[in-house]
Amino acid sequence: MATLKEASQRLDLLSTQISTQVRTVALGVLAVAWLFISGSKDSPTLLAKISEWELVTIAFLSLLALAFDLLQYFVGYFVDYRAYKKARALKNADNPSPTVKFPKNPLRHFFFYTKQMLAIVAAGWLAVACILAIFVK
């Protein structure tokens, strides 16, 4: 059994890894979508089979996932910094090391889970579009 501190450290590590994976997937999907969008008439036929509006939508979802990733950290930072400042203001001779109580942050959780869904939808949509372009005539 893990202690609460160990469980918290594990969750922090997993959260960091998830965020890194979301960024990697979103940037990869964005790069592939951009490659397809910027293709010319001499490009492979696969590019012609995927509509431009699909590619733009997929790219937009990837950009939105990256934006939500950034917003998750902005919101988390500002809420946590406010809690830190509040605890620092309580520091005095009687209380040399006040504890910091971090408030619940539903907006940060919203951005955390939504960015994952956006990246999964964008990657899945691109994969299905490519598969259909290859195998469906």
Report, in angstroms and rounded to the nearest whole number, the Rg of the chain calculated over CA atoms.
22
Q: Give pLDDT, residue 40.
A: 67
Domain ranges in the chain are: 4-135
Q: Work out the pLDDT band at 45, boundaries 50, 70, 90.
A: low
Read off the pLDDT of residues 72-126 as tens digits, 9 standing for 90 and up.
Answer: 999 988 888 888 788 777 776 676 776 777 778 899 999 999 999 999 999 999 9
What pTM, to 2 d.p., does this model score?
0.82
- Cβ atoms 71, 111 nearer than 8 A: yes
User: Does the pLDDT of residue 49 top 90, yes or no?
Assistant: no
What is the C-alpha separation between 2 and 14, in angstroms, rounded? 15
Token match 């959260």: residue? Answer: 15
- By CB atoms closer than 10 A (0-12, 13-18, 19+), residue 6 is exposed
SS3 call for 39? coil
- Cβ atoms 112, 15 nearer than 8 A: yes
- Cβ atoms 26, 119 nearer than 8 A: yes
Q: What percent of the chain has pLDDT over 90?
A: 44
